[in-house]
């Protein structure tokens, strides 16, 4: 199978969403399925480069025990998405994921809605980035393709940015083209400032080719589409299908 230059982080939150829908109150039950670990191992077997999970303050899907189990068991990298709170930071410092992606978090949102306002919270984010980096974790900021946010991310010491592709994914035609131009400018600036450029949110095998105009992409984090496809073709095939499209990216 063709090897993409781009790395793929598979977000398996929604495998756990399914488990929680039925077994939230009886996670110890031998019937509690689907298994988060099996999902991670299937994704790895198909060629995923990392496993991404979002430990939310409301614990709506991934649980603390899931994160610890993944940390002990996966053979690729663990990428933990987290809001900037003391509680989750303490967990991240104990678990030591390979990567952390700092995200904004709203209790009412269905999924992460906008990018993080790094420019507006420099001091608290700088402290979090330092604590995590000193502990051996590379830190990314999930931001809208906004040049001030890119500059602020570099300034507070982040190693990476993950460009929010939600607006790109949810529009077509001229609006999508305009968003691609914003993504290009953000990627160019981030690269010039020494940041690794990642992207994620709403990406599918259908919309990825439109993203290929964006330079310097290193890693994509993709969840909903892969897990949705997995319902029909299985998780391994869904990850392979994504990697096949990703192999067509040329920086
Ligand atoms: N990256 C970040 C920071 C996210 O919050 C999410 C959604 O959890 C994703 C990537 C994956 O988005 P999607 O599930 O739409 O592929």
pLDDT tens, residue by residue, 41-74:
999 999 999 999 999 999 999 999 999 999 999 9
d(CA 183, CA 205): 18
What is the pLDDT at residue 110? 66
CA nearest to 144, candidates 80, 187, 176: 187
Query: What is the 56 CA–ligand 1 centroid distance (Å)?
Result: 13
Query: How is residue 199 written in tokens?
Result: 């992207």
pLDDT for 2 beyond 60: no
pLDDT for 170 beyond 90: yes
Mutate to test the pocket of ligand 1, among 79, 88, 170, 200 (most ligand atoms within 8 A of CB): 200
Query: Who lines ligand 1 at CB under 6 A?
Result: 11, 13, 54, 81, 101, 103, 111-112, 142, 162, 200-203, 221-225
Which pLDDT tens digit goes with each residue over 87-120? 999 999 999 999 999 999 876 666 666 899 999 9
CB atoms within 10 A of CB 101: 26
Q: Is 201 a catalytic residue?
A: yes
List the catalytic residue out of 54, 164, 191, 225.
Answer: 54
Give, in degrees to the nearest 5, the angle at Cα 82 between 78 and 83: 170
Lowest mean pLDDT among 4-18, 56-70, 104-118, 235-249: 104-118
Domains, the chain, in order of start with CATH, read 7-246 (3.20.20.70)
Mean pLDDT for 185-207 is 98
Q: What number does the ligand 1 atom closest to the CA of 224 have?
A: 14
CB atoms within 10 A of CB 146: 18
What is the pLDDT at residue 106? 73
Q: Quote the mean pLDDT of the chain.
A: 95
CA nearest to 99, candidates 54, 61, 64, 69: 54
List the catalytic residue out of 49, 61, 201, 225.
Answer: 201
Tell me the pTM.
Answer: 0.96
Query: What is the 223 CA–ligand 1 centroid distance (Å)?
Result: 6
Question: Per-residue b/e over 2-38, b at no fewer than 16 CB within 10 Å?
Answer: eebebbbbbbbbbbbeebbeeeeeeeeeeeeebebbe
Mutate to test the pocket of ligand 1, among 8, 145, 201, 239 (most ligand atoms within 8 A of CB): 201
d(CA 126, CA 124): 5
Query: How is residue 226 written in tokens?
Result: 């892969």
DSSP count for the chain of H helices, then E strands: 11, 8
pLDDT for 144 beyond 70: yes
Q: Output DSSP code: residue 2.
A: P
Query: What is the 241 CA–ligand 1 centroid distance (Å)?
Result: 18
Which pLDDT tens digit goes with each residue over 125-142? 999 999 999 999 999 999
Residue 5: pLDDT band (50, 70, 90) is confident
d(CA 159, CA 218): 12
Q: What number does the ligand 1 atom closest to the CA of 203 have?
A: 16
What are residue 140's phi and psi, to 5 degrees? -120, 150
What is the pLDDT at residue 117? 95
Q: What is the dihedral of CA 92, 95, 97, 100, to 10 degrees?
A: -10
What is the pLDDT at residue 3? 52
d(CA 19, CA 65): 14
């Amino acid at each position: 199978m063709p090897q993409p230059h781009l790395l793929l982080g598979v977000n398996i939150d929604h495998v756990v969403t399914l488990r929680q829908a039925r077994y939230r109150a009886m996670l110890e039950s031998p019937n509690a399925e689907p298994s988060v670990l099996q999902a991670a191992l299937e994704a790895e077997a198909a060629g995923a480069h990392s496993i991404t999970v979002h430990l939310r303050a409301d614990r709506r899907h991934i649980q603390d025990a899931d994160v610890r189990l993944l940390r002990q068991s996966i053979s690729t990298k663990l990428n933990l998405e987290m809001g900037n709170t003391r509680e989750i930071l303490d967990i991240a410092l104990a678990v030591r994921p390979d990567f952390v992606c700092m995200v904004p978090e709203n209790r009412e949102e269905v999924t992460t809605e906008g990018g993080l306002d790094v420019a507006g919270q420099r001091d608290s984010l700088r402290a979090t980035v330092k604590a995590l980096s000193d502990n051996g974790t590379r830190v990314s900021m999930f931001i809208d393709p906004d040049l001030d946010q890119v500059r602020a991310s570099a300034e507070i010491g982040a190693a990476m940015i993950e460009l929010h592709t939600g607006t790109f994914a949810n529009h077509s035609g001229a609006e999508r083209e305009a968003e691609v131009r914003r993504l290009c400018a953000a990627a160019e600036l981030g690269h010039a400032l020494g940041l690794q450029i990642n992207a994620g949110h709403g990406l599918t095998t259908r919309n990825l080719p439109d993203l290929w105009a964006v330079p310097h992409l290193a890693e994509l984090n993709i969840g909903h589409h892969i897990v949705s496809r997995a319902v029909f073709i299985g998780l391994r095939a869904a990850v392979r299908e994504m990697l096949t499209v990703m192999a067509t990216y040329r920086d």
